[in-house]
Structure 1
């Protein structure tokens, strides 16, 4: 993550952060709605292949959350205010985590097939959980060459994300996609203390990154 003290600039009336790994002249994508992306990109992403299996993915994610809490790690405590923001890595640095995939075999199988059929995925995939009362301070990702895709698994209406100047929530069984080189923050207040926001997070290549520039390991 990049500190918000990094220099800001305005692009199309939206806040954009200069990130340390900036790639060429890539268009900024501040919109989180998936329908704002081109049909070519959505075909490459093949989002529906994952979305239609969201119930099975949610079942494994909730099972892992309750049966193996020790395997979840703090996402970024330096920007987490109250509550908890934790992650269960499935794919790290382009390689599937064999121990974690033994606990979530169906999800890993879905994601392996997705990676085999799509050139859109980068090197990180994980379950991400946010507890009620948590606030994630404004921050940005380390590069403009990626987008983040969030598949809603448990999506209370009180959990919200702001990207640039746009704010919205998650929907169960649906992806939202955004350019995390934009300033973004998470808020989850007003819900019961037992409430939880749970997503499957997939890092994607920005659609303007050429195929020959995409180099991530693809292991099974």
Structure 2
């Protein structure tokens, strides 16, 4: 989205689609959601959203792609360096602050969120369901922080409404198909594939950041 839209418009568009996708995923796997984690995360998301809105920070595209590319590297840090566990209340709160703050400045923060879950004792279904529920609040914060100024702007560069009408049902369908794949995986393979996929995508972001920096 950041390749074809202004940063603010990309944030809001991504926020809307991911709000629907994660909300639907949380509904589909609702019996696996750890609501105590979600509660602490939601409180921290509110605080992070207020803080970022007061700063009014909108990153440039080179910085955006650089952050997106570097974030997956966090999943490869040795456990002795960062031993986080979202099932602990204080760390659930810290994950809400860190992930929502990064989500509002870099656009996405999935790999950072993964660090708080990948070393817990939760099953893959509980991880997916709880992460989905937490990201409802993270993307809601993104929509509020960047969406209100976007509505006030006459040249916002936002995509047409018909795009949302097409993309939202597709995001829900993708979520349902992803659930079937999840059922066929083991907890170990789920965590392994998550790490490699986000790392590969991060590499593409770094290449894009390098190209934009060289052009400037």
TM over 0.5: no
Question: Does 1 or 2 have the higher relative contact order (CA < 8 Å, sep 6+)?
Answer: 2
> With structure 1 as the length reference, what TM-score do the two structures score?
0.31
Q: Which has the higher helix share?
A: 2
